[in-house]
Structure 1
Amino acid sequence: MNRESEALLNYLRVEAIRLHHFAFEEACTTSVPSKVDPLPHQLIAVQNMLRHDPIRFLVADDVGLGKTIMMGMLIKELKSRERANNVLVICPKSLLFQWQREMKEKFNLDFKIISSTKEASDLSPNQHPGNFILSMGLLGKKKAVESLLKGKWDLIIIDEAHNLTVREEREKISRTKRYAGAERLLLSDPFLNIVLLTATPHHGKTKDFIHRLRLIDPFVTESNVNVVLNEIMIRRLREEVRDFNDNRLIPDRESKIIKVTLSDQERNFFDKVNEYIRDYYMASMRESDRRKSKAYALVAMVIQKRASSSLNSLLQTLKKRRNKLGEIVNKGQNPSDQHQKGIDERRIVQEVTLSRNKEELSREISRLDDLIDEGGRIAKDSKLEKVEKVIEEHVSRGDKVIVFTEFRDTLFYLNERWKDKFRVSIVHGKMGVEERKRAETDFIEGKDVLIATNVASEGLNLQVANVVINYDLPWNPTRLDQRIGRVHRYGQKKKVLTYNVYTEETIDSHVLEILMNKLDIIKDTLGKVYDYLGVAVSDKDIEKVIRETTVKNPDETFRNQEIEKKIDSLLRKAERTAKEWNEYNLSYSFSNLDPSCDEKEEVTEEEVEMFVTETLKAYGVPPIRSRINPLLYDIRPPKGVKDAENLIVSNASFRFDECKRVKECNYIYPTHPLVRALIDLLKPSSYPISFTAENKRFMGWLLLFEVKGESDEVPVNGRVTEGMFYKKKLEKEKLIAILYDEVNKKVKRVETSFINSLTAVIDECGSEFLVIADEPEVKKKIREVEEQIKTEIEYRKNQIFQEVTDVIDQEIANIEKRRSSMTDNLDELFSRKSTVADLFNYAQIYTDSKLIAGIRLLPEGFSDITGNADVNSMKEFLNQGSEGEEIVNRLEQNKGCDVIDMRDVFTAGFDFLSICNDEVKYIEVKTVQGNWSKINITPVELMAMDPNNRTYRGRFTKAKLHGYGGDMREHFYLYIADLASKKVWEVKNPAASLREFLYQQKYMKTQRKVEIPYTDLLKYLQSNHVTSESF
């Protein structure tokens, strides 16, 4: 192997270290393969989570912002970084197949569904690492939880986590079975990665909210909840999120009302139905037996809801009830016996009766027969006709419409009435997964109307529609928002129209109309707080208002006043709760964070491509580029790589966008197994690595250091009030680059990506860098980084200490508040607090640095023209390059352009950004001194020249172009300043115009560097009459 080849290998070893650090250790890339385009708010969330170990977060983004997508991104990142093998997703049963499908279709992740205790008991993740989705109901099953505890989980995600609740009973907390199961599972391992997902993080009950947070951080208390939330919660609203061009991600939505006026025939019928409902509500309020009271209220409520849904749904319910009550008579059973314990809601609605004996029951059956008979004679369905006209109007305009109903009876009825008028698809809870999927696909690809029960609001993404009609209204605004969220989400292109259908003569519809109107009125005054009001208004609150209004039934004017009073009272309470939540920073959105990594340190696709292709060439197995598509390769790993057979990759591309376009494309991303294998292959046997490299700007040395910090063990988790501590060391690591400028005798810290601007030329550089590494200014830079690491670890240590002691202080306060005689307990708690304080106070923080590489820096081309590397000759050589750049700078300014100097951004690939009246120019300057000169084009410059790499250039210029017109043309220019002939050549779009030079093998050197003799290039410039300007 020649010295240049060995130099290249040493360069690749350094690049492997940088790649490993920033792709595996830092959150500086989220480019794992998937079929999604990550959005800024999703990247921000995933990158922020990746910075934590363990990951403990509550993601409470609004409905429709892609929480499932974020989790797919997180899972892929953790797996690619070898931080997660066993992943468990826990979600409601209705979402099991939605999660499975999303993970497979968008991330190629296979998940096995666990929906029974037996399946949970068969689970053995210790033996078979993998991905599982568990029905949330199993958290309430002791045997299922015991089985889960036997496994070693790396990441647990719980969707719809607001279903994990506790109840405050007097001064005690009562855990629901699901919460207790989740608590056992999540707190069993202090180093487990946990993410809770919910769009409604707070139910309006502080202790319930605190306990939900304790599933993530057991140290949270009411006194420190604000501080903890800023660390562990991510919440963004639909109105806040933006795309990469700072445009709103989701369009506006508008709510409209469809008011239905009943015919006389319908009104008379519903008045009689309301009398029947009122009888059961009144009996519920009189009944002292709690079980009977709840049963009577349930009968009334279900019939009332079905009456508001549709005439058909009501008649079906009345018929089923009449038939069941008839069976009781025919069997000679006692009507009072129908209140037995343990019967389900369906049987209660059909069988529970006010009748105390056979005679009374016969009269009730007769009453039901009359209602059924009268309802069956109604010729006109006013509600259906009114809604039908709205649908016709939208379908004629090309809109797709979703009609939501709570009941399948109504769904089947609407489908029957509309199937010959519209192209209709239906979705309901009794359909199998594949059947639902087909219905969804049919609607997306060709149908006009989708009629769906609430099951469609729990998993389907239906952005293809922009009109939602709530044929009946759930008795809670949050449920309405879940329905609308299926449409008003990312991917929606049109303004969303929502229609709420109100029937003027029904009491519950009237109550809900007043509630929704008042919510709309206060939306403008409350701002973000409004978004929590729907959660603060509970089903029980609304049921109570409807029940009391139905029972009283005074004249309409007085009734409206009573409803308004009750709802005002309800909303005042909800507003107080919402403002309290707002104080908890529930809208914390990381809006101050940039979704892209540090542009100067980010591992780019181009960097990965260069690393892989050059490594393979160096080991004698160059990738074979496709003749049809130059962005595709066939790759075979070199000898010595572990598991080589599984690392053979066909149709490989390093461009994510290309793999989205080309079928059967295999995306090679920074943490791909092939990249990992090559990093391992290049791992040096000893440090430091050394070689000589050329660059455009400096003569001197580049030193690469690994700086680490760690603390003694401190408590990081556990039940501290019981004296149970889990301890670990707090650690931090940084990779830094320090530049010693030999010409100007300066030392400065530069980005490690500076390595990408180097071209390795000689495999050795002497040992002078070891002396440079001991220079006081170099040591000072290292100490600054060590102090920064110490500060970060100390901050985290103090934060944990505060959380731990807050828990103990809260328990002490609780005992003192109860004026308990438990002095022994108090003494024990004070003792534990003292023990904890000692552990933190005596925990030292240690730092250390290690020299990884020393690289001798020479100016570009200098090694070809002289063997004399003295400072003066190099300085003169560098000054020539600077002279040419300044000539170009003045010429551009004389044209009236605003010139931004980009020379300190080493990986930008161009020297100046010139913003002219009608054009943005990316300018790279090459300086020559007569015909003997050579033009050196680096790989970074080649990347920047490529017209397809606008995104790459934009990473460095987006902020700088802010404020200028966004519709200006952009072009790359290669300016050649010939100091001998006093002329500047302007080559526009060199990637195309100089193709015969840039991509010809005879001009290509190692690391994809291109070296063109000026005499060759000058002939082209003169013969093609390329624009030039004298200076």
Structure 2
Amino acid sequence: MSQATRSSSFNKQPFAEGDWVLVHPHQVLGRIIEKSVLWGNAFFRVWLPSTDSIIRVDASALSPTQSSVLSTHHLTYLAAAARVADALTQDVLLAPIESSVIPLPHQIRALSRAISNDRVRYLLADEVGLGKTIEAGLIMRELKLRGLVRRTLVIAPKGLVTQWVAEMRTHFGEEFRLLIPSDFSAYRRIAREDNLWQSHPQVVCPMDSVKPLDGRRGWSRQQVAEYNRERFEDLISAGWDLVIVDEAHRLGGSTDQVARYKLGQGLAEAAPYLLLLSATPHQGKTDAFHRLISLVDAQAFPDVSSVTKERVQPYVIRTEKRRAIDAEGKPLFKPRRTELAPVSWEDRHRDQRLLYEAVTEYVREGYNQAMREKRSYIGFLMILMQRLVVSSTRAIRTTLERRLEALEAPQEQLTLFPQLSEEDWADLDGQEQMDTLLKTRLKALKNERAEVKLLLEAARRCEAQGPDAKAEALLDWIYRLQAEEGDPDLKVLVFTEFVPTQEMLYEFLTERGFEVVCLNGSMDMEERKRVQDAFAKDARILISTDAGGEGLNLQFCHVVINYDIPWNPMRLEQRIGRVDRIGQTHTVRAINFVFEDSVEHRVREVLEEKLAVIFEEFGIDKTGDVLDSAQAGQIFDDLYVEAILNPDVVETKVDEVLKNIQEQAWESRQSASVLGSTEDLDPREAQRLLSHPLPHWVERMTVSYLQAHGGKAERKNGAWDLTWPNGERLTNVVFTSKEAEEKPLSRHLTLEDPKVRGLAMRLPPFAPGQPVPVITLTNLAPEIMGFWSLWRISISTADWNRRRIMPLFLADDGRVFAPTARHIWDQLVVTKPTILRHLDVETSHQAFERLQEAAERQGKTIYDELVQAHRERLAREREKGEYAFAARRRAIERIGLPQVRNHRLSLLEQEEERFREQLERRAQILPEMAPLLLVRVEGGAHG
């Protein structure tokens, strides 16, 4: 078409299909896709790229594009919005920039790995204490900021659910609702939804409260079905975008029929995005690990033989503690100092020692009798009695009182022992186990009532004589530690297994002038928070039970006294882990109390010495690096029980346990290699992210958009009052997390807001025929003369699309300068351009055509990169699919009956053919190159 003909076509009326037009009253660009005339009236269907919608308008609502003159505000909006969109396409990490938490190098790497793939389904396998909760929170925030996630479900063990709610609120400002299915009848009175899991977009719930049941003692099939519908089926079908499972190794189960594994399968299918968190995902059990990793991608892991290092690594994100560094590149964790503190019985404690010996004899005889009569729960009670007498006189006295009451009460007043799996039982702390046992129907052992009465009298007599030997030792240690640490206000965390011991210590220390606070499993979230706050401020001593201590972050304290030692070393590790955390600035000190000459002392002495040798040999820090809590619980419970029953064989039994642990360590080391080793971490990445200008780009984009499109943006007291073109008002708005922290009552506006994100993601194209503005910029060299433009280059397939934004500067001498193009873009975002004039239609068109040719040449490299990324993605899908089909074919070929085998192979062949056809369709690429902005630059602003 000649220039004269084209010029006349722009001025002709009415418009034609394919023309770009300006649509009133909103002054947005659109393209006519259809024209129709009815009874002399012309109507047009117009596509609006800015909202990706089609409207039907009268001719009077349209005007030619040459009347669409860019204002300074609109130009700034487009430049800033394109910068934000470009950041999103370049995988810039949004969550660290927009949150108050300052991520560590390994957490940055975890987030970067997680979002580098469309399919965010990973096993987060960092070692204990490295902040997997923070990593999961960062990934969730990233997906929310990108508009990919709205509804999130967190499944965690019962003791960790309140920690999840607290950490999401503290670190990310995210509100999660804790839903406990046993409380559903109360929820129903206030919730309207049939499916209560849909009552809140972000939910945390305990793992074992939602696993499906096969049956329950005394329940009909209908009751079981109703239970499963409300807790499991409704949960799975509640429309989640992201599911996070903490302590996910529990989902592996011992077989594929275990309830926790069935729960895992349901959760894996409940959302497109899945994060499984576990510090000990393998533990030498390949079957269980295969079940776990197959939840992430069933197709990639069709059978156990698929669990290889090469196949597993793309799905696992792992950092080892010894490799973790802080933002300055220094080791993240300081050394720990642990010491065993034997407590001796003085002459004045003679009755306490006799009580210990009498209870130990009662336990020995009672346990043997219970085992002979196959009454394992009585055995559990006996073992707990042993731990109680070691804990405190009050703990054994109160328990003996409760046992006597149960023995004298009519059996019908007591409940049946609940159906608990070994894992469920192991999850309870000592106090919870005791409470469960003492309110259930446990028949008396032979002569037990008389024996309990005698022991109770002895316990009361001991208590009347004065403080326990261990209580006095605790006081001595507190004074000693104050002197050694040079701090008269030293904070000390004291752990005990049992609430009566906690109460006794509270009274004992308070009477001696200490400010003491207590935590136990009966406290709700608000009570726990008050106690933690009090300990952080004025209280000197916090006494906690194991259940009370779950989820605590107490980096401001570095001394832990284990007043009584749990037999399971994992529990001990969890206790010390409350203070040995990221952010701890002191060497952590752990003091473990144990009675001299007791069975427990003999076991610990031999055990610790020999365990240290194994840990050194295998380069591990603790038992938890080898065993999970349930495994360790069983092994060490058996050891202590055997030591109590047969004190003469302590060393032999310890050696047997150590041999077991040594084998587990060897297996664990062999199998853990499948998880891959930690890469070197870059401490500078966190600093780069913290100084990233994205929030300022978002601010510039939003404010400029409102100023250009009939809205308002007024700066008041360091914040913005914004009015959208539709009249919606937002007051006291800030755009950076730092401003949000400084102004607690402000509203932090981020890309998570759909309106704000839409400004970047729905950029209108620059239409042929639009007058090109001529601009100058203050910080630009006067010699820079030419045309600058922005182009969106994208490819789309049946199920995938990718885009990049390319700046282009074409100098008047015909050369293309990439650095200059980027520099002009930077300046447009931070400084206000001056528009000198607009080029006429003809000159604008000539410039457009020259730039389009240059963009095609320059953009080919970006297009090739996008195509290559797509092909690599398809190749991975093809390899994964073919591997899965081959595994299924091998399984079918093992079927003995030829007819069944051939029928199954035929069906598999058809399925494989459909898979290949689908891949072929997905291989077809549609490229696109769209102009977003075009200006003429005439050097820097003058004067």
The TM-score by the shorter chain falls in which range? 0.7 to 0.9
1:535 is aligned, of 628, 642, 649, to: 628
Q: Is this contact kept in 2: 1:7–1:760, CA < 8 A?
A: yes
Shift of 1:461: 2.0
Q: Is this contact kept in 2: 1:705–1:849, CA < 8 A?
A: no
For 1:365 and 1:600, the matched residues in 2 are separated by 64
Q: Is this contact kept in 2: 1:19–1:603, CA < 8 A?
A: no
Task: Kindly provide the CA deviation profile for residues 239-259 of structure 1, in whole angstroms up to 9, marking residues without a partner as x.
Answer: 443333323444443222222
Q: Is this contact kept in 2: 1:404–1:471, CA < 8 A?
A: yes
Q: Which amino acid aligns with 2:747?
A: N
Matched with 1:398 is 489
Q: Which amino acid aligns with 2:661?
A: L
Report the aligned-residue RMSD. 4.1
Q: Does 1:243 align with 2:326?
A: yes
Q: Please, which moves more after superposition, 394-403 or 373-382?
A: 373-382
Shift of 1:848: 0.7
2:355 is aligned, of 257, 269, 284, to: 269
Q: How does 1:354-753 map to 2 (within 5 A)?
A: 360-361=447-448, 364-365=451-452, 368=455, 372=459, 375-376=462-463, 381-395=468-482, 396-421=487-512, 422-527=514-619, 532-535=625-628, 538-554=632-648, 559-585=649-675, 588=678, 591=681, 595=685, 603-619=693-709, 623-626=713-716, 632-639=718-725, 642=726, 644-645=727-728, 647-650=729-732, 652-672=733-753, 675-676=756-757, 678-679=759-760, 683-684=764-765, 686=767, 691-694=773-776, 695-696=780-781, 698-712=784-798, 729-740=799-810, 743=813, 745-746=815-816, 748=818
Q: How does 1:888-927 map to 2 (within 5 A)?
A: none
Q: Which amino acid aligns with 1:205?
A: K
Q: Is this contact kept in 2: 1:475–1:512, CA < 8 A?
A: no
Q: Please, which moves more after superposition, 494-503 or 115-124?
A: 115-124
Pick closer, same or farther for the CA change 1:561–1:419 going to 2, 3 Å.
same
Task: Kindly provide the CA deviation profile for residues 884-915 of structure 1, in whole angstroms up to 9, marking residues without a partner as x.
Answer: xxxxxxxxxxxxxxxxxxxxxxxxxxxxxxxx
Q: Does 1:130 align with 2:201?
A: yes
Q: Is this contact kept in 1: 2:318–2:677, CA < 8 A?
A: yes
For 2:379 and 2:768, the matched residues in 1 are separated by 78
For 2:641 and 2:295, the matched residues in 1 are separated by 37
Q: Does 1:788 align with 2:839?
A: no
Q: Is this contact kept in 2: 1:296–1:352, CA < 8 A?
A: no
Shift of 1:748: 4.9
Shift of 1:799: 2.4
Shift of 1:231: 2.5
Q: Is this contact kept in 2: 1:145–1:181, CA < 8 A?
A: yes
For 1:518 and 1:512, the matched residues in 2 are separated by 10
Matched with 1:1007 is none
Pick closer, same or farther for the CA change 1:826–1:53 going to 2, 3 Å.
same
1:798 is aligned, of 853, 870, 875, to: 875
Pick closer, same or farther for the CA change 1:617–1:307 going to 2, 3 Å.
same
Q: Does 1:161 align with 2:251?
A: no
Q: Which amino acid aligns with 2:655?
A: K
Identity of aligned residues (%): 23
Shift of 1:409: 1.6
For 2:851 and 2:337, the matched residues in 1 are separated by 65
For 2:669 and 2:492, the matched residues in 1 are separated by 36
- SS of 2:298's partner is coil
Matched with 1:851 is 930
Pick closer, same or farther for the CA change 1:634–1:508 going to 2, 3 Å.
same
Q: Does 1:30 align with 2:116?
A: no
For 2:895 and 2:827, the matched residues in 1 are separated by 68
Task: Kindly provide the CA deviation profile for residues 709-758 of structure 1, in whole angstroms up to 9, marking residues without a partner as x.
Answer: 3445xxxxxxxxxxxxxxxx244332233444565835658886751234
For 2:920 and 2:868, the matched residues in 1 are separated by 16
Pick closer, same or farther for the CA change 1:581–1:508 going to 2, 3 Å.
farther
Matched with 1:897 is none
Q: Is this contact kept in 2: 1:603–1:670, CA < 8 A?
A: no
Task: Kindly provide the CA deviation profile for residues 937-957 of structure 1, in whole angstroms up to 9, marking residues without a partner as x.
Answer: xxxxxxxxxxxxxxxxxxxxx
Shift of 1:624: 3.5
Q: Please, which moves more after superposition, 93-102 or 560-569?
A: 93-102
- SS of 2:844's partner is coil
Matched with 2:400 is 318
For 1:348 and 1:636, the matched residues in 2 are separated by 61
Aligned length: 815
Gaps (5+ residues) in structure 1?
Answer: 713-728, 862-935, 937-1010, 1014-1031
For 1:417 and 1:126, the matched residues in 2 are separated by 46
For 2:769 and 2:325, the matched residues in 1 are separated by 45
Shift of 1:569: 0.7
Shift of 1:691: 4.3
Pick closer, same or farther for the CA change 1:235–1:133 going to 2, 3 Å.
same
Pick closer, same or farther for the CA change 1:832–1:348 going to 2, 3 Å.
farther
For 2:768 and 2:489, the matched residues in 1 are separated by 67
Q: Is this contact kept in 2: 1:61–1:199, CA < 8 A?
A: yes
Pick closer, same or farther for the CA change 1:665–1:504 going to 2, 3 Å.
same
Q: Does 1:299 align with 2:367?
A: no
Pick closer, same or farther for the CA change 1:484–1:369 going to 2, 3 Å.
closer
Q: Does 1:222 align with 2:309?
A: no
Q: Which amino acid aligns with 2:304?
A: E
1:148 is aligned, of 218, 232, 235, to: 235
For 1:548 and 1:710, the matched residues in 2 are separated by 67
For 1:747 and 1:29, the matched residues in 2 are separated by 30
Matched with 2:909 is 831
Q: Is this contact kept in 1: 2:327–2:687, CA < 8 A?
A: no
For 2:769 and 2:501, the matched residues in 1 are separated by 75
Matched with 1:985 is none
- SS of 2:345's partner is coil
Pick closer, same or farther for the CA change 1:56–1:27 going to 2, 3 Å.
farther
Gaps (5+ residues) in structure 2?
Answer: 1-26, 28-66, 212-226, 421-432
Q: Please, which moves more after superposition, 744-753 or 516-525?
A: 744-753
Pick closer, same or farther for the CA change 1:295–1:132 going to 2, 3 Å.
closer
Pick closer, same or farther for the CA change 1:585–1:96 going to 2, 3 Å.
closer
Shift of 1:101: 3.6
Q: Please, which moves more after superposition, 608-617 or 147-156?
A: 608-617
For 2:120 and 2:86, the matched residues in 1 are separated by 19
Q: Is this contact kept in 2: 1:233–1:588, CA < 8 A?
A: no
Task: Kindly provide the CA deviation profile for residues 811-855 of structure 1, in whole angstroms up to 9, marking residues without a partner as x.
Answer: 455566787876347625752674366246634241513132464
- SS of 2:380's partner is helix
For 2:123 and 2:454, the matched residues in 1 are separated by 53
For 2:605 and 2:888, the matched residues in 1 are separated by 46
Pick closer, same or farther for the CA change 1:224–1:352 going to 2, 3 Å.
same
Give the TM-score normalised by structure 2: 0.76
Task: Kindly provide the CA deviation profile for residues 831-886 of structure 1, in whole angstroms up to 9, marking residues without a partner as x.
Answer: 2674366246634241513132464564633xxxxxxxxxxxxxxxxxxxxxxxxx
Shift of 1:401: 0.8
Q: Does 1:234 align with 2:317?
A: yes
For 1:83 and 1:687, the matched residues in 2 are separated by 34
For 2:202 and 2:688, the matched residues in 1 are separated by 32
For 1:182 and 1:310, the matched residues in 2 are separated by 41
For 1:5 and 1:842, the matched residues in 2 are separated by 44
For 1:429 and 1:127, the matched residues in 2 are separated by 28
Shift of 1:318: 2.8
Shift of 1:449: 0.2
